[in-house]
Amino acid sequence: MELTREEESALKGEQGEIMQMAYRILVATGEATDAEKLIPIEWAHLSGVNYNTIGDAGEELLSTISKDARVTVKTTLNPMGFDIDNVSNYKLDENFISKQLSIRNSYETMGVIPSFSCIPYEIFDIPKNGTQVAFAESNAAIHANSYDNLKTNKESAFSALASAIVGKSPYSSLRKEDTPNITIQMKVKNPNELTYGMLGFYAGKIGDTSVNISGLGEMDQRQCKAMCGGMGTSGTCAKFIFGEGDSNTEKIDFDEKEMQNVHDELNTAEKGDLITLGSPQLGLDEISDLAAKLKGRSFQKRCMVFLPRTVKEQAQKIGYITELERAGCEILADCCTCLTPLISKDDVDAVTTNSIKGAFYLKNSNGVDVNLKSLTQIVEDETR
């Protein structure tokens, strides 16, 4: 990698230990991903927030470096493990809560915006076309590259944090013009968000860094998010390019049969003991739509609804939260289905969800079975 004189000096430690560590991470990441240089970024979004995923080692590292480290660009944050407003309703031990609060405190000390959201593209203003950012959350990186005209690698928790401190990121493949050699043709008729989630999951499995995708038609925000979430779960691929691609790309159909394969891989139960909505977290449009669908109806079992705190506050003012709570929803801000400590296999055998990303982690990390259904189907089957 080519470094400027100033970057070399930082790497040697002439700008302090924190800068040296941050540059070491960027150079190691850059070398591993064949970047030839570092480039300035305007926004970093960090993962590595939930104590359930980073554990004591992560908590200790953040506590140590937050004494000196400060972010130098706008930096936002992934969800943590719980919503402080109602954590006492769940069986979380004191140690988890205090370690999670220490992690929150370390990030705040470093100057990070405590957004605790995996949908930064929906709750913050999007910078101008082509802006370089560094997003560690996979669904957010894919959404940024595919829908928001931003450029990001699929960063690791560490390269995103180092990028936030330095204000630069490795210039790796996803930031450059890419011509994928695969085109996925969407052939499934009447798709819902679950279909798009499975399409994303399938694309992530066969794509390398990016894939062409055709035959999509009009999609709403929920469907776009589902597709990005699905892709981020199954591989390293981090960009959809909409269109047929050129004539020499390999054309692969996503048809009923391929969809059934993904469904069979992730759907392991006929029904769930509880329902989760949100992974990615729900935005205001989705909350509004859910409130409308639930008019005059109530859930017959627990339904956990995950959303960013800013969305919760807006939804409260409009009255959606009252409506959702009346229908039996548990409203959880700052956290998400993905890697949640709030669902334990000690209490729950299976969960119903419309999220492919949620399904993958519920199964693989929480060890519970999953029943996949679209939101419309969930409301029809589980409310009265």
Interface residues with other proteins (CB under 8 A)?
Answer: 21, 24-25, 27-29, 31-33, 53-55, 57-58, 60-61, 156-159
For the chain, the first-to-last Cα distance in angstroms comes to 61
Closer of 13 and 215 to other proteins (Cβ):
13
Nearer to other proteins, 254 or 361 (CB): 361
Q: 3-class DSSP state for residue 146?
A: helix
C-beta separation of 160 from 45 below 8 A: yes
Q: How far is the CB of 357 from other proteins (least distance, A)?
A: 16
C-beta of 109: minimal distance to other proteins in Å? 19
- With 0-12 / 13-18 / 19 or more C-beta atoms within 10 angstroms meaning exposed / middle / buried, residue 346 is exposed
Give whichever of 27 and 262 is closer to other proteins, judged by the CB atom: 27
Least CB distance from residue 192 to other proteins, whole Å? 31
Coil, helix or strand at residue 9: helix
What letter represents residue 281's amino acid?
Answer: Q
214-222: Cβ within 8 A, 24+ apart: 214/183, 214/184, 214/185, 214/186, 214/242, 214/243, 214/244, 214/245, 215/185, 215/186, 215/187, 216/186, 216/242, 220/285, 221/122, 221/283, 221/285, 221/286, 222/193, 222/285, 222/286, 222/289, 222/375
Q: How far apart are CA 338 and CA 358, in angstroms?
A: 5
Contacts of 101 (CB under 8 A, 6+ apart): none
Q: Whole-number minimum distance, CB 36 to other proteins, in Å?
A: 12
Which of 137, 49, 136 has the alpha carbon at shortest distance from 99? 49
Residue with smaller CB distance to other proteins, 28 or 241: 28
Q: Nearest distance from residue 55's CB to other proteins, in Å? A: 7
Q: Would you say 25 or 342 has its CB closer to other proteins? A: 25
The Cα 115–Cα 96 span in angstroms is: 20
Please state the closest distance from residue 339 (CB atom) to other proteins, in A: 11
Rounded to the nearest 5 percent, the helix, strand and coil shares of the chain are 45, 15, 40
Q: Which of 309, 296, 307, 234 is nearest to 265 (CA)?
A: 234
Q: Which is nearer to other proteins, 61 or 269 (CB)?
A: 61
Kindly list the distances between the CA atom of residue 139 and the CA atoms of 122, 148, 152, 167, 212, in Å, as whole numbers in the listed order.
12, 12, 12, 22, 17
Give me the phi and psi of 343, to 5 degrees please: -120, 115
Least distance from other proteins to the Cβ atom of residue 275, Å: 28
Nearest approach in angstroms of CB 159 to other proteins is 7
Least separation in angstroms between residue 53's CB and other proteins is 6
By C-alpha distance, which of 101, 75, 87, 99 is closest to 157? Answer: 75
CB within 8 Å of 145: residues ≥ 6 apart:
151, 152, 174, 210, 238, 239, 240
Which lies closer to other proteins via its Cβ, residue 172 or residue 355? 172
Least Å distance, CB 101 to other proteins, is 19
